[in-house]
């Protein structure tokens, strides 16, 4: 289970909006999602139409019960929002949590312990944090593996972002917790020059810590919250829904990449261990063979002692009375031809996302499970997406295509069901004149 804390000590930056709609987008993409509200204002319940008067128990009861040795299970407080999304609501009682936990050991681990019992039940947990540095925020960080910092594209947000990241670093050190912190630009209004300039500043200073997806300013998001619905239900065709779907895809893509790296590293360690064990066995077997052979043939003429090591081994192999099975190593010329790295990569291509150069061809692979049409537009086809459709691989949601392109540097974008966007699996990008980003491919 991947646990993501949505944190920013500045209020009004869209933490709850991001938490609700990201959780809904992940659930819509087929993930099992738990949304935990750690803000005493309980806006997640409001934004999902959960009646406050009907909330008998909240996340406060789960956390405080740990200190009273009468633990309440998280499942006892959950509200089912959709088939794959559940909410652990907050209550005003959370504002007194820090005072009531004074002197309690391991008080910052209450949420982590509660979630550890449910790690097999969900793929993602999204934690909406309060706009303050408090014990509630400490609990969220101790439970989290990742942190998302929503930043509105305004002057004050840009001014305070460096201090916010520094504060997070201090909190993580105090919590002895290693987390992956990334920034998402929210409330972006491309129509204003200020927003475009601030976004460019964010990209130049925090590019390696920023999501490629940008959540644009959209009145539909506010309307959806007022009706108690995520944007995916209120207006599926809106720009806000597309932004959060893209953000969810990017998060799932980064998780798949991380799992792939962990798998590759695990295989490398296993192979290294097997190789070391084989070397040890060979070293242990060699002296034993020599000792046994000496016992078998105690009478050796002086001339035989002058034999070279190769001749001695040859005689051992042809001796009829030897009790040692010697395996001849095949000659290099007789070894079967192993597939090349390019052939192996081509065979497993559908398991990897992004753009790859295999021999003289460039292969694009991406993941869009709910897309109907995926196309590519770029310098190489005069930005005409209809000239480069991608093919869907079965029912896996994987799309791929292959092109033969000459050497050079190319800019391109994906067109998913008519929506233009950068390649979420290509980290090389450049700013385009419209305030967005083009993916960049360089063929050598």
User: Three-class SS of residue 327?
Assistant: coil
pLDDT (tens digit per residue) in 316-352 = 444 444 444 444 445 544 455 565 555 554 445 445 6
Cα 424 to Cα 139, 364, 367, 373: the distances in Å are: 31, 12, 9, 16
DSSP-derived pairing of the beta strands 361-367 and 354-358: antiparallel
In terms of pLDDT, which residue wins out, 155 or 372? Answer: 372
pLDDT at 303: 42
DSSP 18-71: HHHHHHHHHHHTT--EEEEE--TT-HHHHHTT--GGG--S-HHHHHHHHHTT-P
pLDDT (tens digit per residue) in 103-118 = 888 888 899 999 998 8
Q: Smallest Cα–Cα separation from 353: which of 389, 394, 400? A: 400
pLDDT at 283: 60
Mean pLDDT of the chain: 79
Close Cβ partners of 328 (under 8 Å, ≥ 6 residues apart): 317
Question: 142 pLDDT exceeds 80?
Answer: yes
pLDDT at 277: 57
Cβ atoms of 106 and 56 closer than 8 Å:
no
Measured between alpha carbons, how far is 80 from 407 in angstroms, rounded to an integer? 53
Question: 399 pLDDT exceeds 60?
Answer: yes
Measured between alpha carbons, how far is 324 from 330 in angstroms, rounded to an integer? 19
Question: 306 pLDDT exceeds 60?
Answer: no
- Give the mean model confidence (pLDDT) for residues 179-197: 88
Strands ordered across the beta sheet of 391-393: 354-358, 361-367, 398-403, 391-393
Instruction: Please give the backbone phi and psi of residue 302, each rounded to the nearest 5 degrees, phi first.
Output: -65, -35
Output Rg (C-alpha) for the chain, integer angstroms: 30
Measured between alpha carbons, how far is 422 from 128 in angstroms, rounded to an integer? 28
- Joined tokens for residue 306: 């002058």
- Give the mean model confidence (pLDDT) for residues 288-317: 44
Measured between alpha carbons, how far is 323 from 295 in angstroms, rounded to an integer? 12
pLDDT at 272: 58
- Joined tokens for residue 31: 């993930």
Question: 270 pLDDT exceeds 60?
Answer: no
**Helices (H), strands (E): how many in the chain?**
13, 16
Q: Smallest Cα–Cα separation from 221: which of 435, 422, 22? A: 22
- Give the mean model confidence (pLDDT) for residues 208-232: 90
Measured between alpha carbons, how far is 22 from 34 in angstroms, rounded to an integer? 11
Close Cβ partners of 354 (under 8 Å, ≥ 6 residues apart): 364, 365, 366, 423, 425, 426
pLDDT (tens digit per residue) in 11-64 = 888 899 999 999 999 999 999 999 999 999 999 999 999 998 899 999 999 999
Measured between alpha carbons, how far is 131 from 188 in angstroms, rounded to an integer? 20
Cβ atoms of 15 and 6 closer than 8 Å:
yes
pLDDT (tens digit per residue) in 196-218 = 888 888 888 887 888 999 999 88
Question: 102 pLDDT exceeds 90?
Answer: no
pLDDT at 149: 92
Exposed, middle or buried: residue 27 (CB in 10 Å: 0-12, 13-18, 19+)? buried
DSSP-derived pairing of the beta strands 33-37 and 85-88: parallel
pLDDT band at 5 (very low <50, low <70, confident <90, very high): very high
pTM across the whole model: 0.59
pLDDT at 280: 60
Question: 259 pLDDT exceeds 70?
Answer: no
In terms of pLDDT, which residue wins out, 343 or 3? Answer: 3
Cβ neighbours, 10 Å, residue 251: 25
pLDDT at 339: 56
pLDDT at 378: 92
- Give the mean model confidence (pLDDT) for residues 176-194: 86
- Give the mean model confidence (pLDDT) for residues 357-370: 85
- Joined tokens for residue 180: 């992956």
Q: For residue 384, list its beta bridge partners.
A: none
Cα 272 to Cα 1, 222, 261, 286: the distances in Å are: 29, 55, 16, 21
């Amino acid at each position: 289970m991947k646990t993501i804390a949505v944190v920013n000590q500045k209020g009004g930056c869209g933490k709850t909006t991001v938490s609700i709609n990201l959780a809904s987008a992940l659930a819509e993409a087929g993930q099992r999602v738990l949304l935990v509200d750690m803000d005493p204002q309980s806006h997640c319940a409001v934004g999902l139409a959960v009646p406050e008067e009907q909330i008998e128990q909240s996340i406060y009861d789960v956390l405080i019960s740990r200190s009273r040795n009468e633990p309440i299970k998280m499942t006892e407080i959950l509200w089912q929002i959709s088939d794959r999304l559940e909410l652990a609501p907050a209550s005003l009682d959370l504002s007194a949590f820090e005072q009531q936990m004074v002197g309690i050991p391991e008080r910052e681990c209450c949420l982590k312990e509660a979630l550890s019992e449910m790690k097999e039940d969900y793929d993602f947990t999204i934690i909406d944090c309060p706009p303050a540095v408090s014990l509630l925020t400490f609990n969220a960080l101790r439970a989290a593996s990742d942190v998302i910092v929503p930043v509105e594209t305004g002057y004050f947000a840009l001014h305070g972002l460096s201090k916010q990241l520094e504060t997070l670093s201090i909190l993580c050190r105090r919590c002895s917790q290693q987390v992956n912190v990334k920034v998402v630009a929210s409330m972006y209004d491309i129509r204003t020059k200020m927003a475009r300039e601030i976004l460019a500043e964010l990209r130049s200073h925090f590019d390696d810590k920023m999501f490629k997806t940008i959540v644009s300013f959209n009145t539909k998001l506010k309307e959806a919250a007022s009706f108690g619905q995520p944007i995916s239900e209120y207006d599926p065709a809106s720009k806000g829904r597309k932004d959060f779907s893209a953000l969810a895809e990017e998060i799932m893509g980064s998780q798949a990449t991380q799992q792939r790296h962990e798998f590759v590293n695990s295989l490398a360690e296993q192979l290294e261990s097997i190789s070391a064990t084989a070397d040890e066995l060979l070293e242990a077997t060699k002296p034993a063979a020599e000792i046994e052979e000496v016992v078998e043939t105690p009478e050796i003429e002086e001339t035989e002692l002058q034999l070279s090591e190769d001749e001695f081994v040859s005689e051992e192999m042809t001796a009829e009375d030897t009790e040692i099975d010697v395996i001849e190593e095949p000659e290099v010329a007789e070894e079967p031809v192993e597939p090349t790295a390019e052939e192996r990569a081509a065979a497993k291509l559908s398991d990897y996302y992004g753009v790859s150069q295999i021999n003289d061809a460039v292969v694009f692979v991406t993941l869009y499970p709910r897309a109907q049409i995926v196309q590519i537009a770029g310098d190489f086809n005069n930005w005409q997406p209809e000239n480069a459709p991608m093919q869907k691989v079965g029912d896996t949601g994987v799309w791929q295509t292959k092109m033969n392109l000459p050497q050079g540097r190319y800019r391109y974008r994906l067109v998913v069901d008519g929506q233009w966007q950068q390649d979420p699996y290509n980290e090389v990008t450049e700013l385009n004149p419209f305030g967005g980003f083009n993916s960049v491919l360089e063929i050598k």
